[in-house]
Chains A and B, each alone.
Chain A
Amino acid sequence: MSQVNRLATGGRIDRSKPMSFSFNGKTFQGFDGDTLASALLANGVGIVGRSFKYSRARGILGHGAEEPNALMQLHTGNAAVPNPRATQVELFDGLVSGSTNGWPSAEFDLMEWVGKIGGKFMPVGFYYKTFMAPQKMWMTYEKFIRKAAGFGKLSLEPDPDTYDKINAHCDVMVVGAGPAGLTAALEAGRSGKRVIIVDEQNEFGGTLLANNQTVDGVDAATWAEQATAQLEAMSNVLVMPRTTAFGYYDHNFVCALESRTDHIGPVSASGSRQRLHRIRAHQVILATGAIERPLVFGNNDLPGIMLANSVSTYINRYAVVPGNRCVIMTTNDSGYQTALDIQAAGRTVVAVVDSRHAPDGRLVQQAKAAGIEIMTGHGVIEAQGSKRVTGAIVAPLDAAGDTLTGPGKTLSCDLVAVAGGWSPVVHLSCHTGSRPVWQEDIAGFVPGPSIQNQHLAGAVTGDYKLSQALNAGVQAGAAAVGVESSHVFDCGDESEGAAQALYLIPHTKPISRAPKQFVDFQNDVTAAGIELAAREGFQSIEHVKRYTAMGFGTDQGKTGNVNGMAIVAKALNKSIAQTGTTIFRPAYTPVTFGALGGRDVGVLLDPARHTAMHPWHLANGAEFENVGQWKRPWYFPQQGETMQQTLNRECLAVRNSVGILDASTLGKIDIQGKDAREFLNRVYTNAWSKLAPGKCRYGLMLKEDGMIFDDGVTACLSDQHFLMTTTSGGAAAVLGWLELWHQTEWPELEVYFTSVTDQWATCSFAGPNSRKVLEKLCTDVDLSAEAMKFMDYREGTVAGIKARIFRISFTGELSFEVNVPADQGHYMWKKLMEAGEEFGITPYGTESMHVLRAEKGFIIAGQDTDGSMTPQDCLMGWAVSKTKSFSFLGERSFTRPDTARADRKQLVGLKPIDPTVVIPEGSQIVMDPNQPIPMDMMGHVTSSYWSECLGHGIAMGTVKSGSDRMGQTVYCPQADGRVLAAQICSPVFYDPKGDHHND
């Protein structure tokens, strides 16, 4: 198929590099330098998709980020990309594209008939009104809505591309490389400071690439090339094309998405496809430009109705004229430029329809001189056609543009270029909380005051002259680096006539009965819908937005918002300044989840922390459990074992001989200083003043509300030196907690804390034979029961390595912990395994550890407690000192009425009535399972296991007044209808007298 709309000469495309691409299954040709949109228009493709709600045929409206209609489905298979705008997709050879919707095709769409028939019955708020009730039907409705609505489709396969993120810092960040951005970056760059300039397009220059003005006598596009080359030559300036600054956050933090290989092929051959730049800038210059506004009139969404400036851009930059006979509808002088461009391209300008009664700017004069038909004081009130515009009904307007003053007539055409004025791109300035301000003279919102170190330059300020943009850029660049500049550019672009503030062109029928007059093309919001919202009582612009969906989604109201706000204001008899605007949020244009994820995917999603013995665990088939970020051996299955069989074997080994556990993950904090004891007295519930060197003590740590926060054993290494252990997941929080109190409340205490969690590898081995194992490796410490008692600590040599030896137990058996520097941890573990071989030493994991400790009724902070359990609730009043002079953290809360309540939930043991049952953890506990739902819930099961050594299931839980309910039967109703009964008992199921660990 030939490129019917391609000009023979001109444009920034390379005709020597033809490119073949497909759209909706048909093959077309374009050139290097084309966007998918310019190539489609070159080939005369009119319909690019169907609208969101009414399924109307839609064509290309704009030429950049503002495009609301031409959302594409790109590539195939796992490389599929949903919803990029055709106007922002660079063409490459072999590109496969299609519409995102339309069934059976965008060209012939059955849903359109639903839209036409249902249009009257799908008013604004349709979904809210229709699908409100019954609520349980929402799932059904949603399926239907999801199928009918929406745009592109994601691949369900893994994304073959990689993405990454980079942190960048600079003195000056320039957003936008149009005329203002370029001069700003040049000026800032000359200072030698670090400058980053980004632009979403493949080439720097913005409007300079598509107009026929001059800058200081040089052709605009050539000037842009020269300026870009100058920037690239500065080593302190980072030049980033194809990079969209999509979010502007607090304290001058800008996020920008760099498209690195999207323009080359569907999948990146090497390196990342996209890169997210996280930029911290001292100064930010927003040179984001302005977007042309469409006008609101009947059937203004027909393919062939485009923004006038976009038509000019297609002609000048891409050598594409998207029509043969063009009507230009304008409210300002810029429409005349498009008329001149069309005429210069050799196509017919049917007429310039100008809502103003006496336009007289320089461009108007030029158009008159060129013999172009001008209809002043007129407006296009309705477009005609079905799949493409075939005519425009034009009627005379009064001076205000409110009222038709005569009958309309039809102009035959296949292109309507609309110039409704300009909207500064205020999006980024809004992201940091700055509210845009309505500026009457330009009929647009401009960025409001900002507390960021922010500068504005160019069209974003509502000043649309080229020379002004260039000069404002110079001033912003100079201000951002703290210098002065007097450079002034000359572009010969003076004397533009005043624009008319016109948004909705009246129709012969009232809004509610006129052909659909679209405001937001992407969300199918019409003037009638907005008026209806106002009639239904929505007065706040924010509410109107949410009710109508105007400005939602990926579009973010780029073309439609101001028109919509004008219609709301008029309906409410207010000014636009009074009704105000909604605030734009990041992202300016959509950002892939891939880029947001960056490299933090797969194994890098969250750090996995490993102990020194991790290689051994891997080699010996451990299954792992996540404990915080740690990977801990969960259990060590042998061939053919079920998990339960493994646990039974591991637990029995500990009870009958010896088992070994890698306890290196326990948090360890080294505490030194003469006030260490006093500090421990204040943060722990129990007393530390008399703990002798060589002794250990279990401590409970509370928050000030009296609730258990963490626990662990602390050893007294010497009089002023302690080693505290914490739970594996709580180490960082505990260290932060100690530092908090030391730094904020008790700085006078002479004590220092240092994390030594990673310094020490800990081998914990337990069981009646554990002493025999240690005795084989350690000869310089008397390990006898008399010499080294339960809760004793010694320094000694184990397997030739200086070690810290603790006789402590979390299993209820005779147990030792050997700590060695982690460099030697793997070696120590292997030595212990060798020494224990004759006793059948059995490595066990966290699951068996949980079973063994639960058999003894030992709690795990964070499993059996949840931040609402006091020591008394956990039957651990024995660990609370009543004689300390200092009111330790949490003590005062014990007497608060709620904490002292008798019917608090208390920790209990639960013995299932059916001994073979293991009650699921989390089960709710009730006294009467036959009571009606909702039942009176008394507590829940916190820990539950099969105990092989006891031969029955065991559980711990919390029950209201549990301590007073010993012997009572409680019930745990299950989701599957079973009711599991259990008897409340002491949580200490095994060796209640503690004979074993005292052996």
Chain B
Amino acid sequence: MTNSTHNAATDVMESPLHHHVAHTNAVDAGVVMTEDKFRGHLNLRGNPQDADFMAAVASVLGMALPTEPNTSVRVNGFVAYWLCPNEWLLIVASGAQGQVEADLRQAVADKGGNQHIAVTDVSSGQTLVNLSGSGLAQLLQKSTVYDCHESNFPAGKVVQTTFAKTGTTMCKLEDGSVDLVIRRSFSDYFFLWLADASEEYGLRIA
């Protein structure tokens, strides 16, 4: 299915973490969690050595896909994460994923259509969570084996790694906070872990 339009009615749509918003909020929370829910998530595959493919994608996104490992590009509400040499995660506006997918397919077709690509809507299968706060650094140390120190994980860097006993794709933002992509089926576990591991800092759901 190429264009899954979302009905915005609240009783129809449920984000993976929707039932955790009523969590007790600490006053001086050292960790703040914000779910950036219902964003459009598209998994994109293609050959970065193929100039036509890169040009086609750039024409739709208004930016070139990142080709350096572990990097991201962010323009006009589009975010592209490098996942592997021929795989990217595109995060687009809520509900826009169907149109972007169609535009990508069209742009590739316009280039001759022989490019080997794949576009897959994964918007419902994962969610974007932002973590920030004074306790963030230590919380990340508790949660992931990746070295999240500023020197190793600067703004814009994207890393796929472990998070507690599940996995995540995480991106450091300019403000020092971290965006995490969490798989839907693991989101309850993720939240239980987060609540437990951030206990000493205090957790607030924004």
Contact = CB atoms under 8 A, between A and B. Distances in A.
> A and B: direct contact (Cβ < 8 Å)?
yes
Interface of A: 164-169, 194, 270-272, 278, 280, 599-600, 603-604, 606-612, 614-615, 630, 665, 670, 672-674, 717, 750, 752, 754-761, 795, 800-802, 804, 821-827
A758 B184 contact: yes
10 contacts: A164-B197, A608-B189, A609-B189, A630-B185, A717-B1, A752-B45, A756-B120, A759-B184, A823-B123, A827-B11
A603 B187 CA distance: 14
Contacts of A630: 185
Interface in B170-206: 183-189, 192-193, 196-197, 199-200
Contact of A758 (B118, B126, B188): B126
B23 to A, nearest CB: 15
Contact of A166 (B19, B124, B125, B142): B142
Contacts of A795: 1
Interface in B10-69: 11-16, 19, 38, 43, 45
Interface in B97-140: 116-126, 138
A717 B2 CA distance: 11
Given A271-B200, A827-B12, A603 B192 contact: yes
Given A612-B184, A802-B5, A758 B189 contact: no
Nearest to A664: B185
Contacts of B13: 823-824, 827
A672 B4 contact: no
Given A164-B197, A604-B196, A606-B165, A754 B118 contact: yes
B186 A670 contact: no
Contact of A822 (B11, B12, B124): B124
Nearest to B139: A166
A686 B152 CA distance: 48
B40 to A, nearest CB: 11
A828 to B, nearest CB: 9
Given A801-B12, A827-B11, A280 B147 contact: yes
Q: Is the interface of A mostly helix, strand, loop or mixed?
A: mixed
A881 to B, nearest CB: 26
B124 A759 contact: yes
A756 B19 CA distance: 22
Contacts of B4: 802, 821
B79 to A, nearest CB: 18
A674 B116 contact: yes
A795 B4 CA distance: 11
Contact of B45 (A754, A759, A823): A754
A614 B14 CA distance: 12
Nearest to A194: B149
A271 B6 CA distance: 43
Contacts of B116: 673-674, 750, 752
B197 A754 contact: no
B165 A757 contact: no
Contacts of B185: 609-611, 630, 665, 757-758
A165 B147 contact: no
Contacts of B117: 672, 752
A164 B142 contact: yes
Contacts of B19: 615
B120 A804 contact: no
B165 A600 contact: yes
Given A164-B197, A673-B118, A758 B125 contact: yes
Interface centre among A280, A610, A673 (most CB of B within 10 A): A610
Given A599-B196, A600-B165, A609-B189, A824 B124 contact: yes
A278 B43 CA distance: 33
B93 interface: no
Which 7 A-B pairs have CB atoms at the shortest separation, nearest pair first? Answer: A759-B125, A758-B125, A821-B124, A752-B118, A672-B118, A169-B147, A609-B185
B14 A823 contact: yes
A588 to B, nearest CB: 23
A752 B87 CA distance: 10
Given A280-B147, A758-B183, A758-B185, A824 B7 contact: yes
